Amino acid sequence: MELRDIETFLVLAEELHFGRTAQRLHVSTARVSQAIKRQERQIGGLLFDRSTRTVRLSPLGEQLRNDLRPVYADLQESIERARRVARGVTGALRVGMIPFNTYDLRPCWDTFRRQHPQWSLHIRRASFVDPFAALRSGEHDILVAWLPIDEPDLTVGPVLFSDRRILAVSADHELARRPSVSLEALADFPNGMGQRLPDYWEDAYLPFRSPRGQVIERGALVTNSDDLIHLVSLGDTVQVFPIHVTDHWAMPDVRWLPITDLPRLNYALVWRTETEIIRAMARIVADLGPLLR
The pLDDT assigned to 88 comes to 62
pLDDT lower than 50: segments of the chain: none
The pLDDT assigned to 127 comes to 86
The pLDDT assigned to 84 comes to 66
Q: Cis before residue 263, ω within 30 degrees of 0?
A: no
The pLDDT assigned to 163 comes to 96
What is the C-alpha separation between 238 and 6, in angstroms, rounded? 45
Closest CA to 192 of 209, 167, 172: 167
The pLDDT assigned to 175 comes to 96
The pLDDT assigned to 293 comes to 77
The pLDDT assigned to 72 comes to 86
DSSP strand E in the chain: where?
48-50, 55-57, 91-97, 119-125, 142-146, 155-163, 165-170, 191-194, 218-222, 239-242, 254-258, 265-271, 291-292
The pLDDT assigned to 89 comes to 56
The pLDDT assigned to 260 comes to 95
Closest CA to 193 of 206, 204, 181: 206
DSSP string covering 52-88: SS-EEE-HHHHHHHHHHHHHHHHHHHHHHHHHHHHTT
The pLDDT assigned to 179 comes to 96
What is the C-alpha separation between 213 and 192, in angstroms, rounded? 19
End-to-end Cα separation, the chain, in angstroms? 53
